[in-house]
Amino acid sequence: MPTKVGIMGGTFDPIHHGHLVAASEVAHLFGLDEVVFVPTGQPWQKDLAKVTPSEDRYLMTVIATAENPQFRVDRVEIDRSGPTYTLDTLREMRSVYGPGVELYFITGADALGAILSWHNVDELFDLAHFVGCNRPGHHLSDTGLPEGKVSLVEVPALAISSTECRERVRKGEPIWYLVPDGIVRYINKTGLYLES
């Protein structure tokens, strides 16, 4: 049974090396036994009409993480109906892993900066420790967040976003090396992102 578990939540539309490097570095810095990638079901703060079907995002996350024995992907959010709240996910993770396991929820600077707008934010900090990672173009700060519940860490900075990857595919520009090779092939095979 693991004792320290990282949770990397994201829409992963598509998953890219910025996500993977952040998860890998936080696992190293905090001595995590595993990192669970959790693709969102209905990311209610995004324009849902423009979000790729969850099965495609789930499959891409599986492909991108398959080679790393420390990484796994959980369907908990894509199998849950209604808007995706991290609170529900952390409650479920807490009940699966039991009280003895430390949970670390990994975010980039932009997500951490928006956390006060999340559903029932006050309860989140009782369920997991939050780790904020630097991200180019975003200011990393824990201002306004409860003391002792959040760590800010430096990870190798990668100026990659899913938005930019989608835009590049639409324009016929390469995304090789921004995302794992298997993700380039999955996108080419399915025709994802050709139209915006």
Ligand X SMILES: Nc1ncnc2c1ncn2[C@@H]1O[C@H](COP(=O)(O)OP(=O)(O)OP(=O)(O)O)[C@@H](O)[C@H]1O
Ligand Y SMILES: O=C(O)c1ccc[n+]([C@@H]2O[C@H](COP(=O)([O-])O)[C@@H](O)[C@H]2O)c1
Residue 86 binding ligand Y, by CB under 6 A: yes
Residue 132 binding ligand Y, by CB under 6 A: no
CB atoms within 10 A of CB 31: 8
In the window 97-156, what residues touch ligand X (CB under 6 A)?
107-108, 110-111, 133, 135
Two tokens, residue 128:
């997991």
List the single partner that 24 binds among ligand X, ligand Y, none, CB under 5 to 8 Å by kind. none
The pattern of x and - marking residues 154 through 173 that bind ligand X according to CB under 6 A reads ----x-xxxx----------
Under 8 Å CB-to-CB from 9, ≥6 apart: which residues?
Answer: 38, 40, 77, 86, 89, 105, 106, 107
List the single partner that 84 binds among ligand X, ligand Y, none, CB under 5 to 8 Å by kind. ligand Y
In 3D, which of 130, 132, 129 has the Cα closest to residue 152? 132
Question: Are 122 and 142 contacting, i.e. CB atoms less than 8 angstroms apart?
Answer: no
Nearer to ligand X, 12 or 193 (CB): 12
Interface positions with ligand X (CB under 6 A): 10-13, 18-19, 22, 107-108, 110-111, 133, 135, 158, 160-163
